Structure formats: structure tokens, C-alpha cells
Structure 1
Amino acid sequence: MKCVKPNLFVLCLSLFFTYSIGAQDFQGRAEYVYKAKMNLGSWGAKMSQEQKKQIAARLKNRLEKTYILSFNKEESIYREFEKLDAMSGATDSWGKNFTPGHQYKNVKTNSFVQNQELYGKRFLIKDELLKIDWKMETETKQIGNYMCFKAITRIPSSLLSFWEFSWSELRSQSKKEESEKEGSENESPEKDEDKVEEIQMTEIVAWYTPQIPVSQGPSEFWGLPGLILELSIGDTTMLCSKIVINPKEKTKIEAPDKGDVVTKKEYKKIVFKKMNEFRGSYSGRRRS
């Protein structure tokens, strides 16, 4: 891979392509292939390879997806391209509760809006854009017809994918709450102040192209001097497979507006509360 200093080169490319996006009605459309590795945790150690293959086949529509990002100079809307489950001929109703709804980003107003349905109830998550401190690298690579530059960041894991849910995260949260409750009862305020909680971080690698100088990207990600064409987040990758600049059919880019308004933090609490209730009712049925 060729390495160049990005500052001057990025500036020149951005200036060269500024005219093409100068029009008021400029719009682009990018398709992303989303792939995540299956993580079975401790259960995986007890399964045979055949069992793992069967589970992977059933979960394929959750682990491999296509998303569409429609964008202009300031705004974007990111949504899943839904397709029928080849095995059942239906959409994945359980997984739909924990996949992102339509995500709207406005880099001028620093606003993020996402609609979400959780067990039949509609929510509208309104918050600020994810704060990202990108470190610009000199490494480059070609993605399709576009020269891309590398950027890296680290973000607290708890701030990412707030719409998702895992039982292990619920158990960890429950233990944390129990520990905090015991600590408040048994320890003095002076000892509490000395505690430093370790924050789990996730490294994110992005490849962006200054040939499309908009500060947008898939999902929650943004903030680079060019469209993000590839993202690596742990075992998950998002790779742009197709780009259309100024498509003939324009997409209306506007924020969702239906649902109970909450912040990202509030919505995450609602998800945990709902799943705690689900776990309690399921345990009750097993005992009866």
C-alpha cells in the first residue's frame, strides 16, 4: 500500500471535488455490506461443528445485511435494505427489536435521530451525534474507484450500538447495580471517591475518501473529511459496495418523527428493564 501525507493531498482532492457537490440539490447514495462474526460465548465450547453450522445458517440474516446511506452536504439517513428470510419467507421479528431503525444525522446541527420499535412500542431517540476523536493516519488503499485514507479511534464500548442487547451485558449491569448498592450501604463517601472504574474501550478503524468530501458514514459514524467507505469495529465490518452520486431518483432525507422521544441513555435503560421483566416472567414459568 502506498503511504502519503494526507493533509495536503486531502485538501487538494477536496477542493477539486467541491464543485461537484456545490449544487443545492446534491445527493449521494451508498450501499454497505454489513458482516458480523457469530459469537456463542461459553455455549460455543459445548457445541459440535455441525451444531455451530446450523446456528450460523439460522442467524445469517442477522450476521449479514445490506444498508443504504443517502446523504447530502449536511444530512444523511441510514437504513437497512430489508429482504425476506430465505428459510422462512418472513422477516426476523425477534432480531428486529435489536437492529437499528432509520438513523438520521445532521453534521451542521450536531443532531442524531433514530426511530426504533421495541416489542410493538415506537420510540424516537433524539440525541447529539456520537463524539469521535479521530486519529488521522498516512496509510492509503483503493476501494473501488476511490482512494481512501485510514483513521483510527477508540470509543467507550457502552456508547456504541445503544439499540443492541446481550444477556451477558444485562448480567454485568445487574452485578454492577448490586455492587453499587452494597457499596453505598457499607462504605463511607471517602472510600467511594477513591474508586476508579475501568472503562472498556472499542477500537474502530475507518477508511474514508476525500473524493466525496462529505462528513458522513454508515450507522453512527461521521466526522472525517470525506465519506467513510469501510469500518472495522471488533468482529464487525461495514464495506461500501456501491456509490451513486446525484442519482436520478432522489431520496427525501429528513429525520423520523414518530414515537416516544427519549435519549440514547434513556432508551438503553428501557431495553434492560424490558429484558429484565422478560427474564423474570420466564423464570417464573419454569418454576411453576
Structure 2
Amino acid sequence: MKNLFAFIFLLITTISFAWAQDFITRGKIEFEVKRNIKRIVSAQQGAGDGFLSSLPEFDISYRDLIFSWNQSIYQPGRKNLTSVFPSSGEVYIDLEKRQSIRKSRFIDEEYVLADTLQKIRWKIENETRKIAGWECRKAVGRIYDSVYVVAFYCPEMIPQGGPELFSGLPGMILGLAIPRQYTTWFATKIEIANIDETKIVPPVIKKNKQYNKKELAEIMLKKFKDSGMWKDATLERVLQSMSSYTLQ
């Protein structure tokens, strides 16, 4: 009987070790964020040809995603001095609670927004590709009813997260494209050892006050009207604009 218990213990230990080797639960991913500036600007009214010709075609910046099981922090990565979109935005996600805490700058102030994760309708396809050396599978999703998203996720990475606020696939998202926003996110480097998990905490600011989406939208609406930046702004329009996944 003693030998039987020893055998069962050894079997469980071996299976657990093999599972830990085959599946990743924590790590650090560097994402290259690539925006087609000319397409973004030309989509706005009043952009002249002279102004467009002075712009670079693409803007590239880098962001890091540090994750451990169901928690992650997405934050600015290494600097690209030529980037037009420097960002101080951060987003903390708890997949188990389906909550996000997001820090971003609006005009001259930083705000922290607490919100629930949006459920994305994904359709998994058969296409695969390697991203940063990892085998990934394609999925197509839709947000806000009409905005299509193309994602590539890695089944070997257990947490169902990804860049920005994207989640819900059976593995970590390593590649992402939103054609309507002319923006892509692709992993360039992945580390699975010596991860500093102490960095996976919700972002804070000096005021250290969290707003829900409606409260923050009301603040933004007042600032828009006071500054004259968006004279015909309404609360509904501001709420829609806040739903953008591109952090600033």
C-alpha cells in the first residue's frame, strides 16, 4: 500500500511538472504598436494634402504586457524617440473578476477609470502563424457591433488576455489588428523567466480617485465645452469616444 501511494504521488508530480513545462501561466510580452498615421489623419475632415505629405506613413511605439495567471498590467515599453504618439497610459486587468482599471491622460490631467471588460464575440479560424517564435491561431471578433478585429492567440499561454483591453480567447493574444483604426499590435519579444510580478498592480495617480465611465464622461464633456474643442459634444458621443481601445 505504501508503494502504491508513493507511485500515485510520483505520477501526479510528473504530470504537474510536464503540464508546467508545456503551458505558460506568467510572462512578459513586448508589443510593437504600429499606426498608419496618414490613413488616420486623412480620415479626419479638414486634413489638407500639404499637411498629409509632411507626415510619416507609420508611427511605431512599444508597450509591455506583464501577466501572471488572471492578472496583468499593460504599460509603456521602450521608447521610440520618433513616435508621434508617446503614451503614459496603463491598464490593469483581472480576468477572473472581468474588471479593468485604466489610467489615461485627457487634455492636462490624468484619470483612472474602473470598468468591466467588454465581452467580444470571437470566431476561431483554422489559419495559423508564428509570432515571436510562438505558434498562434487566428480568430476574428467584433466590437461595438460593427468594428471588426483580427487576432492571433497562443494556446500554450493559459491566461486569456492580450494587449489593451482585449481578452476572451483560449490563450494569450500575441497579434491584433483593427482595420478601421489602421492599427496593429504584434509581439516582438516574449520572456517567461524572471518575471517581476510585483509590477502587476492597478495604476494610481496623485489624486488616487477612480471614476466609472459615466462619471469620467461627464468630466470630459464639461472640459470639451469649456475649451471649445468639441462644441456639439453630448454625453452619449463622449461615452462612445471613450470606448476606443487605443490608449493615450
TM-score (norm 1): 0.63
Deviation, 1:129, is 1.2
- How far, CA to CA, are the matches of 2:17 and 2:168 in structure 1? 20
2:192 is matched with 245
- Across the aligned residues of Structure 1 and Structure 2, the Cα RMSD in angstroms comes to 3.1
Deviations 1:19-68 (A, max 9, x none): 14889xx6300000001112223434x314xx4242338xx6xx321000
2:169 is matched with 224
Deviation, 1:84, is 6.7
2:122 is matched with 134
Deviations 1:114-162 (A, max 9, x none): 1233344332211111221211112211223211111111111xxxxxx
Residues 1:250 and 1:127: Cα distance change in structure 2 (over 3 Å): closer
Residue segments in structure 2 that go unaligned for 5+ positions in a row: 1-15, 232-248
Q: Structure 1 runs of 4+ off > 3 angstroms?
A: 15-18, 20-23, 119-122, 248-251
1:264 is matched with 213
Question: Is 1:43 matched up with 2:46?
Answer: yes
Equivalent residue runs for 1:93-104 within 5 Å: 101-104=89-92
1:54 is matched with 54
Residue segments in structure 1 that go unaligned for 5+ positions in a row: 1-14, 157-199, 283-288
**Aligned-partner residue type, residue 224 of structure 2:** M
Deviation, 1:221, is 0.4
Question: Is 1:83 matched up with 2:85?
Answer: no
2:237 is matched with none
Q: Which has the higher strand share?
A: 2
- How far, CA to CA, are the matches of 1:22 and 1:230 in structure 2? 19
Secondary structure class of the residue paired with 1:114: strand
Q: More deviation in 73-82 or 113-122?
A: 113-122
- Alpha-carbon contact 1:154-1:203 (below 8 Å) kept: yes
Deviation, 1:72, is 0.5
- Taking only the aligned residue pairs, the percentage that are identical comes to 27
1:29 is matched with 28
Residues 1:17 and 1:275: Cα distance change in structure 2 (over 3 Å): farther
2:104 is matched with 116
**Aligned-partner residue type, residue 167 of structure 2:** W
Aligned length: 208
Deviations 1:177-230 (A, max 9, x none): xxxxxxxxxxxxxxxxxxxxxxx6210010001121211100000111111010
1:154 is matched with 142
- Alpha-carbon contact 1:103-1:112 (below 8 Å) kept: yes
Question: Is 1:205 matched up with 2:193?
Answer: no
**Aligned-partner residue type, residue 278 of structure 1:** S
Q: Which has the higher helix share?
A: 1
TM-score (norm 2): 0.72
Equivalent residue runs for 1:57-72 within 5 Å: 63-72=59-68
